[in-house]
Structure 1
């Protein structure tokens, strides 16, 4: 939950820097859980009360939630791509039918670049100085 709140509070529309795998996937996990939670609670309450007003309320709440988390979702994805030393434009790779989403998923699950890259310092070890070939600086 800490990673989810960090993305929403500290990095809401921050497309600069890098995001660790853990930050990205914990945000995705909790974002999915909250969205499904809204759907499930709304469905149960609608079924129990049999009124359209409750259904409309939860559909509205779901839409507001999705719109509210759209920008941070894209921002954390771009920062995750930056951690693997790729441009945020790699996101558009997901629009290639069949192959694109798989290639994007591979980029999102691979380990980030060790040390500083063109997008910033290593979020795992911000104080660890490593040169371009992965050897510690002396």
Structure 2
């Protein structure tokens, strides 16, 4: 999967909070959001618009990534603590469950 494939999937599935996402899909979309944020950081009206456009797809792919390691999307709220950031980062780096889990079949990508 390439970065453009991941971006396309994330924008198509931006309302899908009940599926699973692979590590490559998550990290390539995260890379895209970082690049987009850096490129628009010094253009005040554009950076806000880009941030708002990327907010829901980023949240959606994060929830789906947690689903891949059999965690509820509600665990994203733990990122509000310092320790929680590292825990969610660990889960996002962790290999997903083999086969089907309670959130659906293993992602194809």
Q: Same fold (TM over 0.5)?
A: yes
How many residue pairs get aligned? The number is 106
Which of these residues, 53, 57, 79, is aligned with residue 68 of structure 1? 53
Which of these residues, 96, 99, 109, is aligned with residue 115 of structure 1? 99
Q: State how far apart, in whole Å, the 1-side matches of 2:83 and 2:22 are.
A: 24
Q: Which is greater in Rg? A: 1
Q: Tell me, which stretches of 5 or more residues in structure 1 are unaligned?
A: 43-57, 126-138
Q: Tell me, which stretches of 5 or more residues in structure 2 are unaligned?
A: none
State the shift of 1:124 in Å: 3.6
Q: State how far apart, in whole Å, the 1-side matches of 2:107 and 2:8 are.
A: 17
| Cα deviations by residue, 1:105-137 (Å, 9 ceiling, x for unpaired) | 111110000000010000148xxxxxxxxxxxx
State the shift of 1:70 in Å: 0.4
When the two chains are superposed, the root-mean-square deviation of aligned CA atoms in Å is 1.3
Q: TM-score, normalised by structure 2?
A: 0.91
Q: 1 or 2 for the larger relative contact order (CA 8 Å, sep ≥6)?
A: 2
Find runs of 4+ consecutive structure 1 residues off by over 6 angstroms.
none
| Cα deviations by residue, 1:63-104 (Å, 9 ceiling, x for unpaired) | 0110111011000000000000000011011112x2110111
Q: State how far apart, in whole Å, the 2-side matches of 1:24 and 1:14 are.
A: 14
Q: TM-score, normalised by structure 1?
A: 0.73
